[in-house]
Amino acid sequence: MGSNMSGMRYEAPGSVDEAVTLLAEAKGAARVLAGGTDLLVQLRAGMISPDLVVDIKKIAETRDITGNGSGFSIGASVSGAEMGEDAKLLAAWPGVVEGAELIGSTQIQSRATMAGNLCNASPAADSVPALIAAGATCTVAGPKGQREVPVKDIPTGPGKTSLGKGEFIVNIKLPARPTYASDAYLRMIPRTEMDIAIVGAGVNLVLDDSGTCTAACVVLGAVGPTTIIVADAAAALIGSKVDAAALAAVSVAASAAASPIDDKRGTIEYRTKVAGVLASRAAAIAADRARSK
C-alpha cells in the first residue's frame, strides 16, 4: 500500500448520474473501480494514489448482458466469467469472449471486465483486439450526457484513454451478426497461462453462403503503443475463400504492420514474426467457426 493512500475515499453510487457527479467533482485524482484487477495491483505497487475510487458495480446499467444476434450490450461491470456463461454471446462472438477470458487466472476472470481492460489501456490488453475487430462501440457517460464511441477510439497510448474528466464507460455494444460470421482471438505468451501477451491477434470475418469472405477486420495487440488495425490483412481476406494463399497474405501483412518494441517480454524480431503467424491462425479459426454455423 502506498504511503500517501491514507485519505483515499471509496464511493459506490447507485446510478450513472451519481457516478458522473462524483467523478466530475473530484478534487484530486479519481479512478473507476469495476473488477479491480488492474486498479488494486497498481494501488498496492504504489503506482497510483487516487483520492477517490468510484465503484460502479452497484449501477444497474453496468451489470447485465442483453441482446442476441441483432446486437449485444455488455455492461461495464460484467466479468469475463459471466460473459463465458452467456451461451448466445459465446455463439455469436467466441473471439470477443475468448479475448476477455484469457485475461489472467480463474480468480481474475471472476472480476475482470472488458471495460476495465480497455480503459487500463495496456498495449497488450487481451480483450481489445477482438473487440475492435468486431466493430464494438461503447456508451460513455459524462457531465455532458451520454455518447456512443467506437471502442478503437478509447485507448490513445499506453495507459492513456480519450475519456475526459467525469467520464466513464457504461456498457460495450456489439453489432448485429450476419449468419456466417465469426471471430477468434489468439495470443502468444511464454507459459500456457497467467502471462501478459507478447503478441495478440483478433480477427472478425463474415462469409457469404458460398464461403467467400465479404467483410473482415484483423487487429493486432502488443505490437504497438495501441492496437493496430491491419487493413491489408483484411483486404487479403475479402473476396477470398480464406484459403492457404489468403492466409499467407494475412501473415505477411500482419508482420509488416507490426511495430513492436524490445522489452522484458519479447523482442522486435520475435513479435514481428509471431504477429504474422497468429493473425493467419486466428483468421483460419474464425473462418472455420463461420463455416460451421
Partner 1 sequence: MNEQPKQFKWVGTRTIRPDGVDKVTGRAMYGADLTLPGMLQGKVVRSPHAHARILSIDTSKAEALNGVKAVVTAADMPEAESKPVAAGEAMINFRDLAENVIARHKVLYEGQTVAAVAATTIDIAEQAAALIKVEYEVLPHVIDVLEAMKDDAPLLHDHIFTGGVKPKPEKPSNVANRVEFALGDVDAGFAAADVVIERNFTTEPVHQGYIEPHAAVADMGQDGKVDVWCSSQGHFMVRSFCAGLLKIPMSKIKVTAAEIGGGFGGKTTVYLEPLAIMLSRKSGRPVRMVMSREEVFRASGPTSGAALTVKIGATKDGRITAGDATLYFQAGAFPGSPVGPAAMTAFAPYDLENARVVGYDVVSNRQKVVAYRAPGAPISEYGVESIIDELAVKLGIDPIEFRAKNGAKEGTQAAYGVKFGTIGMQETLAAAKATEHYKTPLGPNQGRGVATGFWFNIGGESCAGIRINEDGTVSLTEGSPDIGGSRASMAIMAAEVLGIDVAKVKPSVVDTDAIGYHFVTGGSRVTFATGMAVVDASKAAIDEMRARAAKIWDVDVDGVVWEDGHAKPASTNVGDFEPMALAELAAMANKTGGPISGHADINAKGAGPGFGTHICDVEVDPETGFVTVLRYTAVQDVGRAIHPSYVEGQLQGGAAQGIGWALNEAYLYDKNGKMENAGFLDYRVPVASDLPMIDAVLVEVPNPTHPFGVRGVGEVPIIPPLAAVNNAVAAATGMRFTALPISPPAILASMAAKN
Partner 2 sequence: MTKQHITATINGEEAEYLCEPQETLLDALRDQIGLTGTKEGCSSGDCGACSVMLDGRLVCSCLVLGVEAEGKTVETIEGMANGEDLHPLQQKFLEEAALQCGYCTPGVLIAAKALLDINDNPSETEVRYWLAGNLCRCTGYDKIVRAVMSTAADMRGA
- With b meaning 16 or more CB within 10 Å and e meaning fewer, what string describes 179-201? ebbbbbbbbbbeeeeeebbbbbb
Three-state SS at 187: strand
Q: Which stretch binds partner 1 (CB under 8 A): 79-87, 115-123, 226-234, 268-276?
A: 268-276
Which one of partner 2, partner 1, none interacts with residue 145, CB within 5 to 8 A by kind?
A: none
- Separation between Cα atoms, residue 161 and residue 74, nearest integer Å: 20
Rounded Cα–Cα distance for residues 224 and 92 (Å): 28
265 binds, among partner 1, partner 2, none (CB under 5 to 8 A by kind): partner 1
Alpha helices, DSSP H, located in 128-197: 128-133
Minimum CB separation of residue 89 from partner 2 in Å reads 18
| 60 belongs to the binding site for partner 2 (CB under 8 A) | no
**Shortest distance in whole angstroms from residue 130 CB to partner 1:** 19
Nearer to partner 2, 28 or 71 (CB): 28
Task: Determine which residue in the list 22, 36, 83, 254 makes contact with partner 2, applying CB under 8 A.
Answer: 36
Smallest distance from partner 1 to CB 42, Å: 12
What are 105-110's contacts with CB under 8 Å, separation 24+? Answer: 105/193, 105/194, 106/81, 108/35, 108/37, 108/80, 109/79, 109/80, 109/81, 109/84, 110/79, 110/81
* Window of 80-88, 153-161, 269-277, 285-293 that interacts with partner 1 by CB under 8 A: 269-277
Cβ–Cβ contacts within 10 Å for residue 164, how many? 12
* Structure-derived torsion over alpha carbons of residues 136, 121, 200, 254, reported in degrees to the nearest 10: 80
Residues 6-65 binding partner 1 (CB under 8 A) are: 6, 45
Question: What does DSSP say about strands 30-33 and 52-55: parallel, antiparallel, or unpaired?
Answer: parallel
Amino acid at residue number 245: A
Our CB check for partner 2 shows the closer of 2 and 211 to be 2
**Pick from 193, 209, 210, 244: which binds partner 1 (CB under 8 A)?**
193
Query: In whole angstroms, how far apart are CA 152 and each of 226, 237, 245, 272?
Result: 9, 21, 29, 22
**Closer CB to partner 2, residue 44 or residue 291?**
44
Pick the stretch among 5-13, 118-126, 216-224, 225-233 that binds partner 2 (CB under 8 A).
5-13
* Neighbour tally for 281: CB within 10 Å: 17
Residue 77 vs 137, nearer CB to partner 2: 77
Contacting range for partner 2; rule: CB under 8 A; set: 99-107, 172-180, 226-234, 245-253 = 99-107
Contacting positions for partner 2 (CB under 8 A): 1, 5-10, 12, 33, 36-37, 40-41, 43-45, 53, 55, 57, 79, 81, 104-108, 110-111, 192-194
